[in-house]
Structure 1
């Protein structure tokens, strides 16, 4: 199909009578869109809350256990009396 044929096909489609839209379609689409936006916003807020809670939990764990400090040796007794 070359360009003039495509343009003619588009003109035929655009000249046809418009299909009637059901009366409640717009209201239903708006309702569904608002619901999807609310769900997306709630999901984003929950994910941010989970991320913040994980960061706080990691910080508390790190402060209490101090993983950067070398643990004391328990395999040999301390040397005293030299």
Structure 2
């Protein structure tokens, strides 16, 4: 099919009256969309809760472990040579 034929076919399709959508299909699509939105909202809330819990756990660990401090030395410096 050459370009002119494709354009003519598209114009013919666009010029026709659109087919009506069955009401049960519309209602099913609305229910499906609402379900997807609820799942997405729930997933975002769960992720925010997990992020907050992780931040609190990290804060408690950091307050207890002091990861920024140098660990105590396990050996003594050499005392000879003076």
Aligned to 2:59, what secondary structure does the other structure show?
A: helix
Alpha-carbon distance between aligned partners in 2 of 1:11 and 1:74, rounded to the nearest angstrom: 84
Alpha-carbon distance between aligned partners in 2 of 1:67 and 1:49, rounded to the nearest angstrom: 25
Per-residue Cα deviation, 1:30-77 (whole angstroms, up to 9, x for no partner): 110000001001101111111111111111111111011112223339
Alpha-carbon distance between aligned partners in 2 of 1:14 and 1:36, rounded to the nearest angstrom: 31
Shift of 1:17: 5.9
Alpha-carbon distance between aligned partners in 1 of 2:15 and 2:72, rounded to the nearest angstrom: 86
- Written as runs of structure 1 = structure 2, the 5 A alignment for 1:54-65 is 54-65=54-65
The alignment status of 1:35 with 2:32, answered yes or no, reads no
Which sections of structure 2, spanning at least 5 residues, go unmatched?
none
The match for 1:21 is 21
- Evaluate the alpha carbon distance shift between residue 27 and residue 74 of structure 1 in structure 2; reply closer, same or farther with a 3 A threshold: same
- Written as runs of structure 1 = structure 2, the 5 A alignment for 1:38-57 is 38-57=38-57
Computed over aligned residues only, the root mean square deviation of the Cα atoms, in angstroms, reads 2.3
TM-score under structure 1 length normalisation: 0.75
Alpha-carbon distance between aligned partners in 1 of 2:6 and 2:35, rounded to the nearest angstrom: 39
